[in-house]
Amino acid sequence: MPRKIVIVGANAAGVHAANAARKTDPKAEITLVDREPYPAYSRCGIPYVLAGEIPSFEVLTAFPPTHYRMMKFKLRLETKARSINPDDKIVLIEDKEGNFEALKYESLILATGADPFIIPIGGHNLPGVFAMRTVDDGKGIQEAMKTAKSAVVIGAGFIGLETAHALASNKIETTIVEVVPYILPALFDEDMADYTEEKMKEHGVKAMVGRRVEAIVGKDKAEGVVVGGEEVKADIVVMAAGIRPRTDLIRGLGVELGVTRAIRVNPRMETSVSGIFAAGDCVESQSSITGLPCLYQLGTNAVRQGTTAGINAAGGYAANPRVICSAVSRIFDFELGAVGLSEFQAAKVGFQTISASITGRTRAAYFPGGKEVKVKIIAEPVLGRVMGAQIVGGENVAQRVNMLSVAIQKEMTALELSTADTSYAPPVAETVEPVATAAEIVAKKIRRRR
């Protein structure tokens, strides 16, 4: 009899788990169950559809319908997993007509993802208040943007900034409200965040930091938000205050949750219950720098975890590495990225750090089109091991973040990074790579301490 594999969740982690399982076991019966009406798509692209940089939501589809047929997957959309019986290895599902069906499994992969955090304040359920998570969220915002003149985005992480970019690009007066005293608090230190905020202001986006939204006001729809007793007009309010792992399906099953309240897994993506694997935004990761649990809820991690889970669920062997938490984005005409720990995060877990930042150019100073790039590098102050970095620049930020990710993974010191044999040509790079320059300054600071 062929192995039966059921995957709950058919987005990044789920579909890549299915792909890996099929390659591992060509004869397995693989069923994908997802509550949404759409097959796997890129959530990351939604703000750029709203900004008009991507022509439609349909373009975001990850795999065409032929892929599921070719791979012999059973794709059950608009279908919810209602319960799991781990003793009999059965998942009870319900389709959109209300019909129930019991799916037998030998391996179950939970790729249930995460839900947007909707702040339970007054007016949070008014028309005109949106999350930024699904295609349907995007379509709702797109429709509201046709008549909106003002908007407020609650939360200043990447999703918040990308949403503000989309709204402002449509000539909508946009304000970001962030309860922490600076934007991008999960990725940047205050100095780099302030630099980014100034660049946002150049594009007409106002940031209210260290402030809390107390209520959303309006009669029949959202008309504004109250911040510190002050009302800020808003025809659109977008909740971008983070996401929470979706774990309701496993309550009472004995599946362990970690300290982050996400599902705890081992390197093979196995949960504490035999036969059940998990991957993606619902799963807790481990930092390779601190060794501590963390949440790394990005598509890249979901794909890697899903692939590992799929191989193991199909009878193969794979282990998922610990994470360094690389992240990049583009807002308006500049890019930003971070990898590893910020100084704040390092201090929070008891690490001392030393850092330096420099502002360089992406091309030779005399070559047209060169753009500013600001690089900050954070290192451990005794041996000088690189622990993190933050970059804001006009171009090529992602490749610099990737370079630094490898440096952290290989435990390079700031001195070693400063001597990297980097390339140069006037149209594409300066003679001295800004990352190497920042690392050299950090290395000098460390030498002075000895």
118-241 against 327-449: fold identical? yes
Contact 49, 142 (CB under 8 A): yes
Which residue in 44, 282, 294, 325 is the catalytic one? 44
Q: Tell me, yes or no, if 44 is annotated catalytic.
A: yes
pLDDT recorded at residue 339 = 98
pLDDT tens-digit map of 100-158: 999 999 999 999 999 999 999 999 999 999 999 999 999 999 999 999 999 999 999 99
Rounded CA-CA distance 169/163 in Å is: 10
- Per the prediction, the chain carries an average pLDDT of 97
Domain topology for 327-449: FAD/NAD(P)-binding domain (3.50.50)
DSSP letter assigned to residue 263 = B
Average pLDDT over residues 267-296: 97
52 class by beta-carbon count within 10 Å (0-12 exposed, 13-18 middle, 19+ buried): exposed
Task: Indicate if the pLDDT at residue 342 is higher than 90.
Answer: yes
Q: How far is CA 337 from the centre of its chain?
A: 12
The ranges assigned to domains in the chain are 4-115+244-313, 118-241, 327-449
pLDDT recorded at residue 13 = 98
pLDDT recorded at residue 449 = 82
pLDDT recorded at residue 143 = 98
Task: Indicate if the pLDDT at residue 450 is higher than 80.
Answer: no
Rounded CA-CA distance 141/50 in Å is: 8
Domain topology for 4-115+244-313: FAD/NAD(P)-binding domain (3.50.50)
pLDDT recorded at residue 19 = 98
Task: Indicate if the pLDDT at residue 96 is higher than 80.
Answer: yes
Start-to-end CA distance of the chain, whole Å, equals 67
Task: Indicate if the pLDDT at residue 326 is higher than 90.
Answer: yes
pTM of the model: 0.95
1.10.3720.10, 3.50.50.60, 1.20.1250.20, 3.30.70.20: CATH of 118-241: 3.50.50.60
Q: Which amino acid is at 363?
A: R
Rounded CA-CA distance 168/162 in Å is: 10
Rounded CA-CA distance 398/249 in Å is: 36
pLDDT tens-digit map of 104-115: 999 999 999 999
Helix, strand, or coil (residue 167) = helix
Average pLDDT over residues 340-363: 97
* Token code pair at residue 343: 């100084």
Rounded CA-CA distance 128/334 in Å is: 29
Q: What confidence category does residue 384 fall into, taking pLDDT thresholds of 50, 70 and 90?
A: very high
Task: Indicate if the pLDDT at residue 270 is higher than 90.
Answer: yes
Counting every residue, how long is the chain? Answer: 450
pLDDT tens-digit map of 21-38: 999 999 999 999 999 999
pLDDT tens-digit map of 232-259: 999 999 999 999 999 999 999 999 999 9
